[in-house]
Amino acid sequence: MFQHSKTLRFKIITSREVFRPSQTNLESLSLSQNYLTSSTPELSFLSSLSNCKSLVVFLLSNNPLNGILPRMSIGNLSHSLEIFDMSKCNVSGGIPEEIGNLTNLTTIYLGGNKLNGSIPFTLRELQKLQYVGLKDNKLEGKIPYDICHLAKLYKLDLGGNKLSGSIPACFSNLASLRTLSLSGLLPLEIGNLKVLVGIDFSMNNFSSVIPSTIGSLKDLQYLFLGYNILKGSIPDSVGDLISLKSLNFSNNNLSGAIPLFSPNLYVPPCKTSIHHTSRKNALFLGIVLSFSTIFMVVVILLIVAVKVFHLQCGRAFKSFDIECEIMKSIHYRNLVKIISSCSNEEFKEMNIMIDVASVLEYLHFNFLVPVIHCDLKPSNVLLDDTMVAHLSDFGITKLLIGEDQSMTQTQTLATIGYIAPEYGREGRVFANGDVYSFGIMLMEIHSAKQQCVSFVFNLAMECTIESLELRINAKEIVSTWELI
């Protein structure tokens, strides 16, 4: 049945052994999110994959394998392999040194298992490695200096282990490293990692103080140290983080004065107040207008101005349109920067679509290979209890692997009404096919309203242009919303 297939995907397989493929031309194998098991603790099915010399993507996460990673089977996998994912498979034992044989690997996901021992020094052989995900295991020992040889390393996730020692000084030479997650002692050497844009040391039981050297990370945008046992004061140097967008020091034992923050995090307070209401950790000062109210809000460490539109007034929507049009076109240091839009009943769907657009941007541009969902529609967007959207059902998803990462062919038909013209007529799958489906969803959501925000409708029209070349992409969608 699969004799000529290059990609195998299984969505629902329960309580059965992982199969043994014989396809020598198999390029992508996805068995994630099932109930697959192994007939032996040594995960013998892995040895059969040595026949798949063209295998590039191997995804097996979230299956109860309950075994040990076999040394020889891992080392004999395809040397073409780029993505290896066996996260959350209840796998134990050590990480085989033979993994260093897979010299084309760009991504390793082994998080959420019971792996022990040390991080193998043979990782240094994987010169194309961009993402190492080993979080939530039982790894011990020091972080090996061998990782410093991974010049293309972008994200290193070692949180939730039992590692000891300091960050190797040579980490400062990792010019591509942007995100680092660790456990153990909060390292004083963190200030040496000048290129980081994200640090996540949350939920690690750190009990030391926040090092003042952290203020030297001028490119840092996200700093998460929540849910630890950090003590002492917040160092004044945190105010020097000029690129910071999001900071979380919650649920610690910090004390002392709140430092002064960079001007990028400060909005001048409203000088005129008509009423004010105090609440825990927040202060509201309001200026009441005919169809909107502007508040100054002090929330823990950040002062922002909040404008609330009174939707019962017909002019509110027009005012919102005008303000969006103006603020996305002008930029000056003394103008208030728009941080985010409000989320009430009328704008709830808009925030859902922003979430979906962000997912598409990640899949199309930020993953190692472009990922095309191919079946974007409302029923595949699930909401959690906080109304945050999550994209689901990747059953007919396409990975753009190979020299041409812009297009692939398919004979699988997606949902009529959401499918892009080039997909429906010719079976050609492009990233902007997802954008077309996104535009249809925008039209559906906002055509049901008596008042339709014009910029959203215009965005929907740009997403659904029939010409593939003229249609905007997911990154442009997100950028448009950020300007607003």
**pLDDT at 312 > cutoff 70:** no
Residue 305 sits in the same domain as residue 402: no
- pLDDT score, position 17: 47
**pLDDT at 438 > cutoff 90:** yes
- pLDDT score, position 339: 60
Residue 221 lies in a domain: no
Residue 29 lies in a domain: yes
Residue 83 lies in a domain: yes
CATH number at residue 468: 1.10.510.10
Residue 468 lies in a domain: yes
Residue 292 sits in the same domain as residue 414: no
- pLDDT score, position 192: 74
Residue 469 lies in a domain: yes
Greater confidence, 334 or 452?
334
C-alpha span between 91 and 41 (Å, rounded)? 9
The DSSP string of 366-405 is ISSS-EE-S---GGGEEE-TT--EEE---TT-EE--SS--
Residue 457 lies in a domain: yes
Q: What is the pTM of this model?
A: 0.50
Residue 251 lies in a domain: no
Residue 320 sits in the same domain as residue 458: no
Residue 299 sits in the same domain as residue 376: no
Residue 439 lies in a domain: yes
Domain boundary among 169, 184, 199: 184
Residue 280 sits in the same domain as residue 138: no
- Share above pLDDT 90 across residues of the chain, in percent, rounded to a whole number: 13
Domain boundary among 150, 184, 218: 184
CB contact set of 181 (below 8 Å; sequence gap of 6+): 135, 156, 157, 158, 159, 199, 200, 201
- pLDDT score, position 304: 60
- 172-191 average pLDDT score: 73
Q: Average per-residue pLDDT in the chain? A: 76
Residue 27 sits in the same domain as residue 159: yes
Residue 16 sits in the same domain as residue 93: yes
- 179-183 average pLDDT score: 76
Residue 294 sits in the same domain as residue 433: no
Range of the domain at 319: 275-327
Q: What is the per-residue pLDDT across 258-308, written as a single tens digit (0 to 9) for each?
A: 887 665 554 334 444 333 333 333 333 333 333 344 444 444 445 566 666
The token pair that represents 404 in the structure block: 């041409």
Domain count, the chain: 3
HEC readout, 293-327: EEEEEEECCEEEEEEEECCCCCHHHHHHHHHHHHH
3-class DSSP assignment, residue 59: strand
**pLDDT at 3 > cutoff 60:** no
CATH number at residue 78: 3.80.10.10
User: Nearest 5°: CA angle at 332, between 330 and 335?
Assistant: 90
C-alpha span between 445 and 334 (Å, rounded)? 36
Residue 322 sits in the same domain as residue 368: no
Domain boundary among 184, 215, 233: 184
Residue 405 sits in the same domain as residue 443: yes
Residue 171 sits in the same domain as residue 44: yes
Confidence of residue 454 (pLDDT cuts 50, 70, 90): low
Length of the chain in residues, anyone? 484
Residue 380 sits in the same domain as residue 306: no
* Cβ atoms 201, 223 nearer than 8 A: no
* Cβ atoms 101, 123 nearer than 8 A: no
